[in-house]
């Protein structure tokens, strides 16, 4: 089959013996994704709650008032922790993706449409830890979303690949065997939050914004290529804005939130095929940076802009407050 991307390449299936890659079905991460997210969520909440409740205040400090511990309607400004997790539904705008390898390739695929598939393993989930101090808070937020190119969408190409001009429009699935961040369009951010008063003592709106790192699991392979890039990577910066409502129950809070994230993914096409848990992926990438090693097939760059509606549960524990 002639390459759908480069015109007149003269490359046919008969000329290149492309061995089908034995794709794990399902991959071990897929099989444990949903369960692992829920278990991690529960363990995080339990461990944090136990550690906080067992703390002894240092000299000059006193615990938050006892009435604050389980009172959902307390108007206290005492510091508190919220630790928990969430599930949600994303929508990612279509985007272009550019492939660059100096001297041979500068190809852009235009109009890639992305699916989120939030309820298919590995599901959409997130974990967060918030420290509120009155009307302001600081949050560490980890989001596991997905972006999977829709194979039946027709896309166009411009530029060159392997020194050949880009070919005519084609379906995404005819050009790419895989084009996705499906074991995670992962985002880790540090955020600043602000409470907007209260609608009732138990319903508290808030807004926030944050910045951090995009840590996707990249899976990219052209249909005429023998090897794929399949690994976790640091890909670039990500920012997000958010607004939501906290519903305070005894000891726990339920929250509903809208988030908008913007991530610039510049992923190295290393042709590494990491089939395990991926523990070595980030160290390997760091060593490549330090040594100046260039990725085998250059870089693929895209900007992913996503709307997300999430809902979750967090355990509230009092933080230590200074004595008056």
Instruction: Read off the pLDDT of residues 111-136 as tens digits, 9 standing for 90 and up.
Output: 999 999 999 888 999 999 999 998 99
Q: How confident is the model at residue 72 (pLDDT cuts 50, 70, 90)?
A: low
**Within-domain flag for 62:** yes
**Within-domain flag for 306:** yes
C-alpha count within 13 angstroms, C-beta hemisphere, residue 202: 11
Count: domains in the chain:
1
* Tokens at 195, concatenated: 């409470």
Q: Find the farthest-apart pair of alpha carbons in the chain and give their distance in angstroms, rounded.
A: 81
**What span, in angstroms and rounded, lies between the C-alpha atoms of 146 and 117?**
7
**Within-domain flag for 222:** yes
**What span, in angstroms and rounded, lies between the C-alpha atoms of 15 and 311?**
52
**Within-domain flag for 196:** yes
pTM given for the model: 0.77
> What is the span of the domain harbouring residue 75?
28-322
Q: How confident is the model at residue 6 (pLDDT cuts 50, 70, 90)?
A: low
**What span, in angstroms and rounded, lies between the C-alpha atoms of 116 and 122?**
11
Instruction: Read off the pLDDT of residues 187-203 as tens digits, 9 standing for 90 and up.
Output: 999 999 999 988 998 99
Higher-pLDDT residue of 43 and 152 is: 152
Q: Give me the CATH number covering residue 278.
A: 2.40.160.20
Instruction: Read off the pLDDT of residues 243-296 as tens digits, 9 standing for 90 and up.
Output: 999 999 999 999 999 999 999 999 999 988 887 666 788 888 889 889 888 988
**Within-domain flag for 211:** yes
**Within-domain flag for 250:** yes
Instruction: Provide the CA 259 distance to its chain's centre, in angstroms.
Output: 13
Give me the percent of the chain exceeding a pLDDT of 90.
Answer: 59
Higher-pLDDT residue of 263 and 11 is: 263
Mean pLDDT of 153-158: 95
**Within-domain flag for 17:** no
Instruction: Read off the pLDDT of residues 24-60 as tens digits, 9 standing for 90 and up.
Output: 333 343 334 444 444 444 544 454 444 444 444 444 4
**Within-domain flag for 21:** no
Output the pLDDT for position 74: 54
């Amino acid at each position: 089959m002639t390459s759908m991307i480069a015109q007149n390449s003269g490359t046919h299936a008969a000329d290149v013996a492309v061995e089908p890659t034995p794709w794990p079905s399902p991959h071990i991460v897929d099989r444990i994704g949903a369960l692992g997210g829920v278990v991690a969520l529960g363990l995080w909440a339990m461990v944090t709650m136990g550690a906080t409740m067992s703390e002894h205040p240092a000299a000059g400090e006193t615990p938050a008032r006892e009435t604050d511990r389980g009172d959902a309607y307390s108007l206290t400004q005492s510091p508190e922790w919220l630790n928990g997790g969430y599930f949600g539904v994303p929508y990612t705008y279509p985007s272009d993706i550019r492939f660059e390898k100096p001297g041979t390739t500068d190809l852009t695929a235009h109009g890639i449409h992305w699916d989120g598939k939030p309820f298919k393993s590995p599901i959409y989930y997130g974990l967060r830890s918030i420290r509120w101090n009155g009307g302001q808070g600081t949050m560490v937020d980890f989001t596991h979303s997905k972006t999977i190119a829709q194979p039946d969408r027709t896309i166009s190409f411009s530029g060159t690949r392997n020194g050949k001009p880009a070919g005519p429009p084609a379906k995404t699935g005819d050009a790419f065997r895989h084009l996705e961040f499906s074991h995670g369009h992962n985002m880790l951010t540090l955020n600043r939050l602000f409470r907007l008063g209260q609608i009732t003592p138990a319903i508290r709106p808030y807004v926030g914004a944050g910045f951090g790192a995009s840590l996707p699991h990249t899976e990219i392979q052209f249909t005429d290529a023998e090897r794929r890039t399949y690994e976790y990577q640091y890909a670039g910066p990500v920012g997000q804005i958010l607004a939501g409502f906290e519903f305070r129950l005894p000891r726990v809070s339920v929250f509903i939130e809208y988030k908008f994230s913007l991530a610039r993914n510049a992923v190295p096409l290393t042709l590494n095929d990491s089939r395990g848990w991926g523990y070595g992926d980030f160290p390997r990438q760091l060593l490549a940076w330090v040594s100046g090693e260039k990725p085998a097939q250059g870089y693929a760059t895209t900007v992913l802009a996503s709307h997300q509606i999430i809902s979750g549960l967090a355990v509230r524990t009092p933080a230590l407050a200074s004595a008056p």
